[in-house]
Chain A
Amino acid sequence: MANADCIIIQGSNMAECHPVGFQWVAEAKARGAKVIHIDPRFTRTSAVADKHLPIRAGSDVVLLGALINYVIANDLWFKEYVSAYTNAATLVHEDYRDAEDLGGLFSGFDPEKGAYDNSSWAYDEANDGSITEPGGPEHGAEAGARAAGDALGSGGPPLEHAEVLRDDTLQNPRTVFQIVKRHYARYTPDMVRDMCGISEADFAYLAKTITENSGRDRTTCFAYAVGWTQHSLGAQFIRAAAILQLLLGNVGRPGGGIMALRGHASIQGSTDIPTLFNLLPGYLPMPSAGRHDTLEEYLKANASKNQKGFWADADAYTISLLKAWWGDAATAENDWAYDYLPRLTGAHGTYETVMSMLRDEVEGYFLLGQNPAVGSAHGRMQRLGMSHLKWLVVRDLNMIESATWWKDGPEIESGELSTEDIETEVFFLPAATHVEKAGSFTQTQRLLQWRHQAVAPPGECQSELQFFYELGHRIREKLADSQDERDRPLLDLTWDYPTDEHGDPDPESVLAEINGRHLTGPDAGKPLSAYTELRADGSTSGGCWIYTGVYADGINQAANRKPGEEQGPAAPEWGWAWPANRRILYNRASADPDGKPWSERKKYVWWDEEQGKWVGDDVPDFPPTLAPGTKPDPSVGGPAALSGDDPFIMQSDGKGWLFAPKGLVDGPLPTHYEAQESPVANGLYPQQQSPSRLKYPRKDNLSAPSAGDPGADVYPFVFTTYRLTEHHTAGGMSRWLPYLSELQPEMFCEVSPELAAERGLEPYGWATIISARSAIEAKVLVTERMTPLRVGDHTVHQIGLPYHWGVGNSAVVSGDAANDLLGVTLDPNVQIQEGKVASCDIRPGRRPRGPELLALVAEYQERAGLTVETSNSTVTHPAAEGEHPGGQTP
Chain B
Amino acid sequence: MGQLTGPTDPTIDAHWEHNHPRKGFFTDTSICIGCKACEVACKEWNHNPQDGNLELLGSSYDNTGSLGASTWRHVAFIEQGQDRIAEARESGRALVSLGMPRIGPPPQPGEVVAGADTTPPDTADFRWLMSSDVCKHCTHAGCLDVCPTGALFRTEFGTVVVQDDVCNGCGTCVAGCPFGVIERRSNGTVKVATSREEQHAGHPEVPNAGVAQKCTLCYDRLVADETPACAKACPTTSIKFGDHDDMVQTAKERVATLHAQGMTEARLYGANENDGVGGTGSVFLLLDEPEVYGLPPDPRVPTADLPKMYRRAAVAVAGMAAAAAVAFLGGRE
Do the two chains belong together in a single complex?
A: yes
Q: Which residues of A contact B (CB under 8 A)?
A: 15-16, 19-20, 22-23, 26, 29-30, 34, 42, 44-48, 50-52, 205, 433, 458-459, 461, 724-726, 736, 738-746, 748, 763-764, 779, 781, 783-785, 812-813
Which among B33, B40, B126 is the interface contact of A15 at CB below 8 angstroms? B33
Q: Which residues of B contact A48 (CB under 8 A)?
A: 31-33, 236
CA distance A47 to B85 in the complex (A): 13
Distance from A800 Cβ to chain B, minimum over Cβ atoms (Å): 12
Q: Is A739 in contact with B44, judged by CB distance below 8 angstroms?
A: yes
Stretch at the interface among B60-68, B91-99, B209-217, B265-273: B60-68
Distance from A829 Cβ to chain B, minimum over Cβ atoms (Å): 33
CA distance A784 to B130 in the complex (A): 16
- Residue-wise, chain B 35-57 has the 8 Å CB interface mask toward A (1 for contact) of 11101100110000011101110
Q: Indicate if B331 sits at the interface (CB-CB under 8 A).
A: no
CA distance A645 to B63 in the complex (A): 56
Chain A residue, CB-CB nearest to B44:
A739
Chain A residue, CB-CB nearest to B121:
A205
Q: Is B197 in contact with A458, judged by CB distance below 8 angstroms?
A: yes
Distance from B117 Cβ to chain A, minimum over Cβ atoms (Å): 18
Q: Which residues of A contact B120 (CB under 8 A)?
A: 50
Number of interface residues of B (CB under 8 A): 42
Q: Counting chain B CB atoms within 10 Å of each CB, which of A26, A461, A740, A742 scores highest?
A: A742
Q: Which residues of A contact B54 (CB under 8 A)?
A: 741-742, 745-746, 812-813
Chain A residue, CB-CB nearest to B203:
A738
11 additional contacts, CB 8 Å, given A42-B128, A458-B196? Answer: A16-B33, A23-B237, A29-B31, A48-B31, A48-B236, A205-B121, A458-B195, A725-B35, A742-B51, A746-B55, A763-B58
CA distance A461 to B81 in the complex (A): 51
29 contacts between A and B (CB under 8 A): A15-B35, A19-B33, A19-B37, A23-B235, A23-B237, A26-B237, A30-B31, A34-B122, A42-B126, A44-B34, A46-B128, A47-B34, A50-B120, A458-B195, A461-B196, A725-B33, A725-B35, A725-B36, A739-B43, A739-B50, A740-B40, A742-B52, A742-B54, A745-B54, A745-B63, A746-B54, A764-B56, A783-B60, A785-B128
Q: Which residues of A contact B60 (CB under 8 A)?
A: 781, 783
Q: Which residues of B contact A (CB under 8 A)?
A: 31-37, 39-40, 43-44, 50-52, 54-56, 58, 60-61, 63-64, 79, 81, 120-122, 124, 126-130, 190, 192, 195-197, 199, 235-237
Distance from A591 Cβ to chain B, minimum over Cβ atoms (Å): 33
The 9 A-B pairs with the shortest beta carbon distances in the complex, nearest first, are A738-B50, A745-B54, A15-B33, A47-B128, A19-B35, A26-B236, A51-B122, A764-B58, A725-B35
Known: A764-B56, A784-B81. A739 touches B40 (CB 8 A): yes
Q: Is A20 in contact with B56, judged by CB distance below 8 angstroms?
A: no
Q: Which residues of B contact A781 (CB under 8 A)?
A: 56, 60
Distance from B314 Cβ to chain A, minimum over Cβ atoms (Å): 51
Known: A22-B236, A205-B122. A746 touches B33 (CB 8 A): no
CA distance A640 to B166 in the complex (A): 78
Q: Which residues of B contact A746 (CB under 8 A)?
A: 54-56
Q: Is B63 in contact with A743, judged by CB distance below 8 angstroms?
A: yes
Q: Is A748 in contact with B56, judged by CB distance below 8 angstroms?
A: yes
Q: Which residues of A contact B35 (CB under 8 A)?
A: 15-16, 19, 44, 725
Q: Is A738 in contact with B190, judged by CB distance below 8 angstroms?
A: yes
Distance from A220 Cβ to chain B, minimum over Cβ atoms (Å): 15
Q: Is B33 in contact with A47, judged by CB distance below 8 angstroms?
A: yes
Distance from A212 Cβ to chain B, minimum over Cβ atoms (Å): 13
CA distance A781 to B56 in the complex (A): 10
Q: Which residues of B contact A47 (CB under 8 A)?
A: 33-34, 127-130
Q: Is B124 in contact with A744, judged by CB distance below 8 angstroms?
A: no
Q: Is A44 in contact with B33, judged by CB distance below 8 angstroms?
A: yes
Q: Is A743 in contact with B40, judged by CB distance below 8 angstroms?
A: yes
Which among B56, B196, B197 is the interface contact of A745 at CB below 8 angstroms? B56
CA distance A566 to B185 in the complex (A): 45
Chain B residue, CB-CB nearest to A46:
B128
CA distance A46 to B126 in the complex (A): 10
Q: Which residues of A contact B31 (CB under 8 A)?
A: 26, 29-30, 48
Distance from B153 Cβ to chain A, minimum over Cβ atoms (Å): 28
Distance from A747 Cβ to chain B, minimum over Cβ atoms (Å): 9
Q: Is A51 in contact with B124, judged by CB distance below 8 angstroms?
A: yes
Q: Which residues of B contact A433 (CB under 8 A)?
A: 196
CA distance A459 to B201 in the complex (A): 14
Q: Is A785 in contact with B64, judged by CB distance below 8 angstroms?
A: no
Q: Which residues of B contact A741 (CB under 8 A)?
A: 50, 54
Q: Which residues of A contact B196 (CB under 8 A)?
A: 433, 458, 461
Distance from B296 Cβ to chain A, minimum over Cβ atoms (Å): 25
Distance from B265 Cβ to chain A, minimum over Cβ atoms (Å): 14
CA distance A15 to B235 in the complex (A): 10
Q: Is A743 in contact with B39, judged by CB distance below 8 angstroms?
A: yes
CA distance A740 to B63 in the complex (A): 11
Chain B residue, CB-CB nearest to A744:
B63
CA distance A29 to B258 in the complex (A): 12
Chain B residue, CB-CB nearest to A748:
B56
CA distance A48 to B35 in the complex (A): 12
Q: Which residues of B contact A812 (CB under 8 A)?
A: 54
Q: Which residues of B contact A745 (CB under 8 A)?
A: 52, 54-56, 63
Which among A20, A739, A748, A785 is the interface contact of B126 at CB below 8 angstroms? A785
Chain A residue, CB-CB nearest to B81:
A784
Q: Which residues of A contact B40 (CB under 8 A)?
A: 739-740, 743
Q: Is B34 in contact with A742, judged by CB distance below 8 angstroms?
A: no
CA distance A22 to B234 in the complex (A): 11
Distance from A301 Cβ to chain B, minimum over Cβ atoms (Å): 44
Which among B34, B52, B126, B237 is the interface contact of A725 at CB below 8 angstroms? B34
Distance from A730 Cβ to chain B, minimum over Cβ atoms (Å): 19
Known: A764-B58, A785-B128. A742 touches B50 (CB 8 A): yes
Q: Counting chain B CB atoms within 10 Å of each CB, which of A22, A205, A433 scores highest?
A: A22
Q: Is A743 in contact with B236, judged by CB distance below 8 angstroms?
A: no
Q: Which residues of B contact A19 (CB under 8 A)?
A: 33, 35, 37, 235-236
Q: Which residues of A contact B61 (CB under 8 A)?
A: 44, 724, 744
Known: A19-B35, A44-B35, A738-B190. A743 touches B79 (CB 8 A): no
Q: Which residues of A contact B43 (CB under 8 A)?
A: 739
CA distance A118 to B276 in the complex (A): 76
Distance from B124 Cβ to chain A, minimum over Cβ atoms (Å): 7
CA distance A741 to B55 in the complex (A): 10
CA distance A26 to B33 in the complex (A): 10
Q: Is B130 in contact with A44, judged by CB distance below 8 angstroms?
A: yes
CA distance A742 to B64 in the complex (A): 7
Q: Is A742 in contact with B63, judged by CB distance below 8 angstroms?
A: yes
Q: Is B235 in contact with A44, judged by CB distance below 8 angstroms?
A: no
Chain A residue, CB-CB nearest to B127:
A47
Q: Is A738 in contact with B236, judged by CB distance below 8 angstroms?
A: no
Chain B residue, CB-CB nearest to A780:
B56
Q: Which residues of A contact B44 (CB under 8 A)?
A: 739
Q: Which residues of A contact B128 (CB under 8 A)?
A: 42, 44, 46-47, 785
Q: Is B195 in contact with A743, judged by CB distance below 8 angstroms?
A: no
Chain A residue, CB-CB nearest to B257:
A30
Distance from A459 Cβ to chain B, minimum over Cβ atoms (Å): 7
CA distance A741 to B50 in the complex (A): 9
Q: Which residues of B contact A458 (CB under 8 A)?
A: 195-197
CA distance A50 to B39 in the complex (A): 26
Q: Which residues of A contact B36 (CB under 8 A)?
A: 725-726, 743
Distance from A51 Cβ to chain B, minimum over Cβ atoms (Å): 4
Distance from B232 Cβ to chain A, minimum over Cβ atoms (Å): 13
Distance from B222 Cβ to chain A, minimum over Cβ atoms (Å): 22
Q: Is B126 in contact with A784, judged by CB distance below 8 angstroms?
A: yes
CA distance A26 to B122 in the complex (A): 18
CA distance A510 to B128 in the complex (A): 47
Known: A726-B36, A744-B63, A779-B56. A459 touches B197 (CB 8 A): yes
Distance from B82 Cβ to chain A, minimum over Cβ atoms (Å): 10
Chain B residue, CB-CB nearest to A724:
B61
Distance from B325 Cβ to chain A, minimum over Cβ atoms (Å): 65
CA distance A818 to B190 in the complex (A): 29
Q: Is A52 in contact with B39, judged by CB distance below 8 angstroms?
A: no
